Amino acid sequence: MDRRDLLKTTLAAGAALGFGAVPARRASAAPVRSFKLKYAPHFGMFKGSAGEDLIDQIKFMADQGFTAFEDNGMGRRPIDAQNRIAQAMTRLGMTMGVFVAEGDFERVTFASNAPEMREELVEKAKAAVEVAKRVHAKWTTVVPGRFDPGLEWDYQTANVVENLKFFAEVLEPAGLIMVLEPLNPWRDHPGLFLTKIPQAFMICQAVGSPSCKILFDMYHQQITEGNIIPNIDRAWDEVAYFQIGDNPGRKEPTTGEMNYRNIFGHIHARGFTGVLGMEHGNSKPGQAGEQAVIDAYVASDSF
């Protein structure tokens, strides 16, 4: 399941459903457990147990002990839906994770120096600020688009840095942080400009803005470069957000080769208080598969 599939799934769920009044949470609202870190599920992950209604899904997440939530497609949902989701999260004490501000997989965007492209990106930054205000989001994902095969790499990097500076200038007054996500070129996303954590670190240092940080997606980086814990440490000052997925398969922890119990323990020991997005699929279908996801996080959080 790649980012585009996840986005289509979550948006389809929202488009197919109406939103009534946000249901009051039942009286026995105490979560059944308490996680050490803010793991953030997404819509569809627990619909077999919670039902199709999006607000009921958020309530189910909270009841299971999850204290955060992320939604790549939030910016494309109707404003009324955004408001209702935000109200439910506030009432449940949940933290909003990322939504996507810009993630074009088909065009050269940030690597371009075309004035019209810069204008387009600035408008997308302004739109992201408005979404963030409605849903109380602190982070928004930016994927800097494709690389240009006809332009020297260093010129493209300079263009990316410059365009990100303009993007950050829009976000800074609102306190919104774009998190740049390097994506693997080998399994899921060939042709994109940003692929590695050291590359993202260099770019964030060059932009020099508190609104330009790194989204460290551990599934992607296990494929691209591995060495997860040492790279977390080297990039730590520029990392603002993590995403999760085991490899191979991009399913929940414990289904692949990655030792997420050790990784989560390391992140916790470093004092991370932000969100870790569960941007993966379920390895098994139905309610049994959803319980398997919960069990995997209970096991991986037992450091």
SS3 readout for the chain: CCHHHHHHHHHHHHHHCCCCCCCCCCCCCCCCCCCCCEEECCCCCCHHHHCCCHHHHHHHHHHCCCCEECCCCHHHCCHHHHHHHHHHHHHHCCEECCEEEEECCCCECCCCCCHHHHHHHHHHHHHHHHHHHHHCCCEEEEECEECCCCCCHHHHHHHHHHHHHHHHHHHHHHCCEEEECCCCCCCCCCCECCCCHHHHHHHHHHHCCCCEEEEEEHHHHHHHCCCHHHHHHHHHHHEEEEECCCCCCCCCCCCCCCCHHHHHHHHHHCCCCCEEECCCCCCCCHHHHHHHHHHHHHHHCCC
pLDDT at 297 (0 to 100): 98
Residue 216 pairs in a beta bridge with 242
Q: Which residue has the tokens 């500076």?
A: 165
Q: Which residues of 207-242 are buried (b: 16+ CB within 10 A; e: fewer)?
A: bebebbbbbbbbbbbbbbbeebeebbeebeebbbbb
Q: 16 pLDDT band (50/70/90 cuts)?
A: very low
Q: Rounded to whole angstroms, how far apart are CA atoms 91 and 82?
A: 14
What is the β-pairing status of strands 177-180 and 139-143?
parallel
Put the strands of the sheet holding 99-103 in their side by side order: 38-40, 275-277, 239-243, 212-217, 177-180, 139-143, 99-103
The pLDDT > 70 percentage for the chain reads 90
pTM comes to 0.90
The rounded mean pLDDT for the chain is: 93
275-303 pLDDT, tens digit per residue, is: 999 999 999 999 999 999 999 999 999 99
Note whether 295 and 62 are within 8 A (CB): no
Residue 24 has pLDDT above 80, yes or no: no
- CA of 265: how far to CAs of 20, 64, 260, in Å? 40, 20, 8
pLDDT at 49 (0 to 100): 98
Name which of 283, 289, 205, 279 is nearest 3 in CA terms: 279
- CA of 294: how far to CAs of 65, 87, 279, 301, in Å? 9, 25, 14, 11
Q: Rounded to whole angstroms, how far apart are CA atoms 16 and 53?
A: 10
Judge residue 165's burial from the number of C-beta atoms within 10 Å of its C-beta, 0-12 exposed, 13-18 middle, 19 or more buried: middle
Q: Which residue has the tokens 């260099």?
A: 202
pLDDT at 180 (0 to 100): 98
What CATH class does 3-18+40-300 carry?
alpha beta
pLDDT at 5 (0 to 100): 55
Average pLDDT estimate for 146-162: 98
Q: 30 pLDDT band (50/70/90 cuts)?
A: confident
